[in-house]
Amino acid sequence: MENMEIYALLGFVLILSIYLGLELISKVPSTLHTPLMSGANAISGIALVGALVLSTDSNLQSAIAFLAVLFASINVFGGYLVTNRMLKMFKKK
Amino acid sequence: MSIFEDITAIQNIIYIVASILFISGIKMLGKEDTAVKGNFLSALAMFIAVLVTFISELENEPFILIGGILVGAIIGSTIALKVRMTSIPEMVALFNGFGGLATFLIAWSQFDSIGDHYFQHLLAIITAYIGGLTFTGSLIAYGKLSEKLKVVKTSIITKIFTTIFYGSILFLIFSILQPFLPEIGFNFFTVLLVITLLGGIGFVLPIGGGDMPVVISLLNSFSGIAAAFAGLLLLNNVLIVAGSLVGASGLILTVIMAKAMNRSINNILFVGYASASKGSSSEEQGEVSPINVADAFLILESASSVLIIPGYGMAVAQAQHVVRELGELLEENGTEVKYGIHPVAGRMPGHMNVLLAEANVPYDVLAEPDDVNPIMDSVDVAVVIGANDVVNPSATEEPGSPIYGMPIIEVHNAKTVFVLKRSMSSGFAGVQNPLFFKQNTRMLFGDAKESIGGLVSEFKD
């Protein structure tokens, strides 16, 4: 159990980030609900960073790592591009 | 724990920079003027975080990594650039599912290298569960939104999968406690992976189309939470920060959507409309008064203020462009035109706003229910285009109605109401709409695009 300290620290980061997220997004105008959701969805593609560090020691692990990178990349590229496309359409009078 | 040595100090500092960019990005994404820049900052953060991770992993089969990124980039970009704006809800669901799948795979891959560290065991199980649920749940949401999947709530298939979903929760609890229980004769983790994927199907399958704005927000939140847990599992701070931000934003949207329907999240997910109330007001309510395009034109031409209320029917008929054209012609005619947008109109939060933006309607003429309801009696004509439950006066007038208490756009208080509708069928809630039978309501039957197109050509003549 020598690593419990790091979990305490990272758990602290987790709680702070959730709190920060709730504060930042609580007053978003309804016009931006869809782009916000789609933009947040692109951010959840951060799983790509986790996918990149996966082990590739066995064939099965290599296949899992490849698929994880592939699907996370679709999420990242698709998410950001479609959000950008949507936001460009919003115009003021 | 080789992970500790792999993530060097420099890498961690760059992760902190990326986290700050993510935070600023999502903050700017919440305001109209800065949204484009916010999305760019968040993309930049992603690029930095991925690049530094990639450099540190160069000795780890770069071809697998580069190959995966390239193929993913091509597929993702192609879908994003080709998709039609009416299909945005299902596409967001699909991308969201892929993010969930990635975290599911991360947990799967990591589980073998955990050893007897209980906290890691716990994190791997939770990450796999939330990620897997997000993946198959989002796929079902995709199927329902794109109308490729049609399963009745009461069918036997739905019941089987719903049962598996509840079973998966029990198995999740078992898996969490597994190290403290006596040895069992099978590999419980593999079973967990399978039952989780099946459970995700059962989670979303019974939920109806009208409740999709809530489901899609919740799944969005889940994919963020899954990424944050994967971050704890991999001891990676940028995953934790970015995942938590997404989890929080999805949660806020879920709550906003549930409030806009005046229902609890629990009721939407596990009860549904059907059992909310046994029809108290389904008796015949009188005759409806139809109107044709020519007469509707005469009334619109002499109106001094018009409120347009779009719903999912506008998306189905692809009528947003003719609607904008009608709005412009009315304005040239000296009429004040506004759009009344209900938060849950359509299939995802803000769905109508995106469609109207695509058709070049400026966002400052779009008003929320709280802005238009107080001035409703000064509106000459309210034009309801393919919306139903969000303008149903039962929500304010009939305490027995399943949708009683839901905030609506009170078009029945306008001087005249036009309802554009294909037929007399009821909305998703399956609730009869007394609006259609009101004295001041005129029904304009037919395809919304054709009806509006007819009005537009009358104006041009």
**pLDDT tier, B264 (very low <50, low <70, confident <90, very high otherwise):** confident
Distance of residue A81 Cα from the nearest chain B Cα, in angstroms: 6
CA distance A53 to chain B (A): 7
**B177 and B131 co-located in one domain:** yes
- The enclosing domain of B419 has a CATH number of 3.40.50.1220
Residues of A in contact with B360 (CB under 8 A): 89, 91
Q: Are B373 and B412 in contact, with CB atoms under 8 Å apart?
A: no
Closest-CA residue to A19 (of B114, B453, B241, B278): B241
pLDDT the model gives residue B38:
95
Nearest to A73 among B69, B108, B242 (CB): B69
Tell the burial category of B423 from Cβ atoms under 10 Å away from its Cβ (0-12, 13-18, 19+). Answer: exposed
pTM: 0.89
Chain A partners within 8 Å of B68 (Cβ)? 51, 65-70, 73
Average pLDDT over residues B148-162: 83
Domain for residue B193, yes or no? yes
The pLDDT value recorded for residue B285 is: 64
CA distances from residue B12 to A15, B6, B8, B19 in whole angstroms, order as listed? 19, 10, 6, 10
Number of domains into which chain B is organized: 2
CB atoms within 10 A of CB A63: 14
- Write down the mean pLDDT value for chain A: 91
Does residue B70 sit within a domain? no
Average pLDDT value for residue range B153-166:
88
pLDDT (mean) for A29-46: 92
pLDDT for residue B128: 97
Higher pLDDT, A56 or B201: B201
Can you give the pLDDT at residue B210?
Answer: 76
**Residues in chain A, overall count:** 93
Domain match, B240 and B347 both? no
Residue B389 annotated among the catalytic residues of the structure: yes
What confidence tens digit (pLDDT) does each residue in B425-461 have? 666 566 778 888 888 999 999 888 999 999 999 988 8
Catalytic residue among B6, B295, B389, B461: B389
pLDDT at A44 over 90: yes
Contacts of B125 (CB under 8 A, 6+ apart): B107, B172, B175, B176, B189, B192
Distance CA B191, CA B144 (A): 27
The answer to which of B82-86, B274-278, B314-318, B354-358 has the lowest mean pLDDT is B274-278
Q: How far apart are CA B456 and CA B301, in angstroms?
A: 11
User: Residue B232 and residue B244: Cα distance in Å, rounded?
Assistant: 11
Are B329 and B426 contained in the same domain?
A: yes
What CA–CA distance (Å, rounded) separates A78 from A83?
A: 8
Pick from A6, A84, A21, A63: nearest CA to B76? A84
User: Cα distance from A8 to chain B (closest Cα, Å)?
Assistant: 10
Predicted-assembly ipTM surpassing the 0.90 threshold = yes
Distance of CA B339 to the CA centre of its chain: 21
pLDDT mean over B281-307: 82
Assigned domain for B336 exists: yes
Residues B107 and B206 in one domain: yes
Is the pLDDT reported for residue B347 higher than 90? Answer: no
- Round to whole Å and give the CA distance between A10 and A13: 5
Q: Residues 358..397 of B with a Cβ closer than 8 Å to A: which?
A: 358, 360, 362-366, 368
Identify the CA nearest to B330 among candidates B208, B204, B438, B452.
Answer: B452
B5 falls in which pLDDT band (50, 70, 90)?
A: low
Same domain, B266 and B355: no
Residues of B in contact with A64 (CB under 8 A): 105, 108-109
Domain annotation covers residue B238: yes
pLDDT tens track for B47-82: 999 999 998 888 777 888 999 999 999 999 999 999
Question: C-alpha distances in angstroms, A15 versus A7, A36, A76, B304, B317?
Answer: 12, 21, 24, 53, 44
Q: State residue B282's pLDDT score.
A: 47
B105 and A CB contact within 8 Å: yes
Place A46 in a pLDDT band, splitting at 50, 70 and 90.
very high
For residue A56, the SS3 value is coil
pLDDT at B273: 55
Contact B234 A53 (CB under 8 A): yes
Is the pLDDT at B407 greater than 70? The verdict is yes
Distance in angstroms (rounded) separating the CA atoms of residues B357 and A33: 13
**Interface size between A and B, measured as CB pairs under 8 A:** 366
What is the predicted pLDDT for the residue at B430?
Answer: 64
- Beta strands at B416-421 and B441-445: parallel, antiparallel or unpaired: parallel
Residue B45 token pair:
């953060």
Residues B123 and B215 in one domain: yes
Question: What's chain B's average pLDDT?
Answer: 88
The answer to whether A93 touches B364, Cβ cutoff 8 Å, is yes
Mean pLDDT of B317-324: 92
Tell me the three state secondary structure of residue A28: coil
The answer to whether residue B439 is domain-embedded is yes
Asked whether the beta carbons of residue B53 and residue A24 sit closer than 8 angstroms, the reply is no
CA distances from A29 to B135, B255, B357 (A): 28, 14, 14
Res. B283: pLDDT tops 50 = no
- Whether the per-residue pLDDT at A90 is higher than 50: the answer is yes
Residue of B nearest to A80 (CA): B43
- Give the residue-averaged pLDDT of B20-36: 93
On chain A, the residues whose CB falls within 8 A of the CB of B353 are: 30-34
Per-residue pLDDT, averaged over B294-310, amounts to 92
Determine the Cα angle at B435 with ends B431 and B439, to 5°.
Answer: 150
% pLDDT > 90, chain B: 57
**The CA-based dihedral angle spanning residues B110, B114, B117, B118, taken in that order and rounded to the nearest 10 degrees:** 50
Q: Say if the Cβ atoms of A30 and B353 lie within 8 Å.
A: yes
Per-residue pLDDT, B355: 92
For residues B445 and B330, state if they share a domain. yes
Give A91's contacts in chain B (Cβ within 8 Å): 357, 360, 362-363
- What is the domain range of residue B186? 83-270
Mutate to test the interface with A, among B98, B116, B336 (most CBs of A within 10 A): B98
Within a domain: B46: no
| B84, amino acid identity | R
Dihedral angle sign, alpha carbons of residues A55, A58, A64, A66: positive
CA B57 to chain centre: 36
| Residue B280 pLDDT greater than 80, yes or no | no
Which residues in chain B (240-269) have CB-CB distances under 8 A to chain A? 240-253, 256
Choose among A49, A66, A74: nearest Cβ to B76.
A74
Chain A residue numbers with beta carbons less than 8 Å from the beta carbon of B223 are 41, 44
**pLDDT at B401 > cutoff 60:** yes
Residue A81 has pLDDT above 80, yes or no: yes
What are phi and psi for residue B306, nearest 5 degrees?
Answer: -130, 135
Q: CA distances (Å), A5 to each of A9, A32, A34, B8, in order?
A: 6, 40, 39, 18
What was the pLDDT predicted at B1?
43
Mutation site for A-interface testing, chosen from B328, B363, B368 by largest number of A Cβ within 10 Å = B363
B251: tokens are 């949660």
Distance CA B134, CA B440 (A): 46
Which of B4, B26, B109 lies nearest to residue A40, judging by beta carbons? Answer: B26
Of chain B, the percentage scoring pLDDT greater than 70 comes to 94
Please enumerate, as own/partner, the contacts of B257-263 that have beta carbons within 8 Å and a separation of 24 or more.
B257/B213, B257/B214, B257/B217, B257/B343, B257/B344, B257/B349, B258/B214, B259/B407, B260/B342, B260/B343, B260/B344, B260/B406, B260/B407, B261/B211, B261/B214, B261/B344, B261/B403, B261/B406, B262/B395, B262/B403, B262/B405, B262/B406, B262/B407, B263/B406
Identify which of A3, A27, A73 has the shortest CB distance to residue B72. Answer: A73
Is B284 domain-assigned? no
Question: A37, B26: Cβ pair inside 8 Å?
Answer: no
Cross-chain residue pair A81–B77, CB shorter than 8 Å = yes
